[in-house]
Amino acid sequence: MSFEHLITELRRTGHRRLVVLSGEAHWSLAQALSLRNTLPGDWLWVGDDASIEPCSAPRALSGLLGREFRHAFFDARSGFDVAAFAALSGTLQAGSLLVLLVPPLLSWAEKPDSDSLRWSDSPEPIATPHFVRHFCQVMSADPDVILWQQHQAPHLHAFPPAPDWRPANGEPQREQSDILTSLLTMSHGLAAVTAPRGRGKSALAGMLLNRIQGRAVVTAPAKAATEVIAHFAGDRYYFVAPDALAASDIQADWLIVDEAAAMPGPLLEKLVRRFPRVLLTTTVQGYEGTGRGFLLKFCARFTGLQRYTLLTPIRWAAGCPLERVVAQALLFNDELIDSTPQGEVHFTALEPQSWESHSALAANVYELLCAAHYRTSPLDLRRMMDAPGQHFSVAKTNSAIAGALWLVDEGGLSAELSRAVWAGFRRPRGNLVAQSLAAHGGNPLAAVLKGRRVTRVAVHPQRQREGIGQQLIRSVSQVAQQDYVSVSFGYTEELWRFWQRCGFVLVRMGSHREASSGCYTAMALLPLSDAGQALCEQEHRRLCRDARVLEAWNREKIPVKDSWDATLNDDDWLELAGFAFAHRPFSSSVAALTRLLLVVDAPLAALRGKAEGHKDDAQLCAELALSGRKALLALFRSETAHTLEGLDKSRAQQLKRDILQWQFFQ
């Protein structure tokens, strides 16, 4: 069978196929160009450093979502961005080929992957053998994948008998029609339509706009992704960006939110509660990192929510080989939570090597995490499989998985590097909590200690409130040879109660709300060693002492004992010297700066305007005739330095000499 005949058959059956070109870079490029010259189509090229038009960098592909292409290339020869790969597959029309360029199969697993720099926290690209072998196994097991290796002819298998595909004609299909009927009778409330990609949920939203009475507003994370809605809505299409809509006083009878799960939760909730009728659409089993968790987590807070699902593909035929292989390779199956794990729970450790020795169990862990955390994405799959320092604990029954805990190694930095992090001279990759304890805490050696950070914890919805999550934490704390277990989370009272029950102690509260959750970042420690206990106590005391000031800045209560002390102590001197003579951030030093201003009478216009007057930076820059924030921060540091020298010049100069030395180390 020739490629021309293959395309004819794909168009007839409404299917799409994956073609894998595996070989040396010059050979695979030559075959790709030959296919482009032979087969008419768009042939979008997705890859870094692409010189072939039309092209897109993998991380710029989101700007093309909502559009459709006939045929595309994905260049994974130097790095494999699997989220972009899945996204590209969702843009291809029926009758298309997705041509994937990869290194020679025999050496691919050992080849460093440049995309790993995004998710491995490694300073250099790493090899990704577990994912590569998993991908190759899926590819080899699928007879519809066309593997074309250098020095070998491509294997184009004959098509099994299949009926002719009838593409949609623009009128509502059966599932769409049933949902439209229900939505058009909705007098008020919230509805959510979820579907895998290609099922016509955006078309459904556009059809709804064309049929409703009254005014409607469309919003989405990216306007470009709403082209399908606009096409079906015609002149009823009216788009407003989410932030602009939230800041406006626009009123309407309907709000349509496309790809709702990709929006920050607090912003989405604010918009949902403002309009009388709201339709949310979002992709499940997809690269957006949504999964069933969007329904389980966000939508569950709204009583009376009407849920709808589109199952039948519209943009291609059911059983599409490309959709199947992408779903299998990236573990888009979300059926795990449809059945309840029965029986007694027992706990076991799982290491990344289990992707090869116990692949089904490892896959179930990922699937449960996707269901529980709707921002889990294929990037997390890559990290789970191949990033260094990943550890897992699993709660199993005889029938299924009931819970999972994902941890990552942190800390263990040299004393010299930890001091440089504290002073703001260095920010190495990774070590989220360990670096934060140094960069924002009071101990320059905090990052020397070794810990494991909880990345995700999930319990099956039907086995929650049985203490399984706490037992998972307990199971790792009893065996981990570490100084502490840590966690970083968007603070809510409910989440904090869980971590408290697990034995964690609050040690830090951030100064900015997370975009994804709208909450302040909280960090907590579960000490496991004497050194870990000492660090935990030190940082908790610091938080209690500073809480009054931090609460005033955040305008939110911090759940610790108020131990405010207005006197300057040794910790304050070190903190203030780090701010004055190095690069400690204002937010970390604000409590010590507040105490400094209480013990001196100097005018200190910049510091007092910021710390006592709570003036914003633009106002202070205007009042002090400064060029911008950089100049304002320099003035903050200068005023602090002069004030310390006025209090005790020799002490200030000694601290300055010591701290400046921390930027020089091997």
Which pLDDT score is estimated for 449? 97
Residue type, 404: A
CA quadruple 16, 17, 18, 19: dihedral sign = negative
What pTM value is reported for the model? 0.89
Can you give the pLDDT at residue 38?
Answer: 95
In three-state secondary structure terms, 125 is coil
Token pair 């070998």: residue: 152
Query: What pLDDT is recorded for position 65?
Result: 67
Cα 59–Cα 65–Cα 70 angle in degrees, nearest 5: 105
Longest Cα–Cα distance in the chain: 89
Tokens 């004030």 locate to: 643
289, amino acid identity: G
What is the tens place of the pLDDT at every residue in 468-527?
Answer: 999 999 988 876 689 999 999 989 899 999 999 999 999 999 998 887 677 899 999 999
The pLDDT, as a whole number, for residue 265 is: 78
The amino acid at residue 331 is L
- Report the distance separating Cα 43 and Cα 65, nearest Å: 16
Q: How far apart are CA 361 and CA 511, in angstroms?
A: 39
Ramachandran assignment for 121, one of left (phi > 0), alpha (psi -120 to 50 degrees), beta (any other): left
Per-residue pLDDT reduced to its tens digit, 164-191: 999 988 899 999 999 999 999 999 999 9
pLDDT of residue 375: 66
Three-state SS string over 13-78 comes to: HCCCEEEEEECCHHHHHHHHHHHHHHCCCCCEEECCCCCCCCEECHHHHHHHCCCCECCEEEECCC
Q: Dig out the tokens for 507 from the structure.
A: 């040690």
| Six-digit token string for 589 | 């030093």
pLDDT of residue 301: 74
Q: Are 123 and 129 in contact (CB under 8 A)?
A: no
Strand partners, 97: 17
Pairing of strands 450-459, 484-490: parallel
pLDDT of residue 289: 46
Cβ burial 118-138 (10 Å sphere, 16+ → b, else e): bbbbbeebbebbbbbbbbbeb
Low pLDDT (below 70) residues in the chain: 50, 63, 65-66, 285-297, 374-375, 479-480, 516, 665-666
Cβ neighbour number for residue 211 with a 10 Å cutoff: 14
Cα 350–chain centre separation = 23
Q: Within 10 A of 6 (CB to CB), how many other CB atoms are there?
A: 20
CA dist 500 and 385 (Å) reads: 30
- 3-state class percentages of the chain: helix first, strand second, coil last, to nearest 5: 45, 15, 35
The number of CA neighbours under 13 Å toward the Cβ of 372 is 22
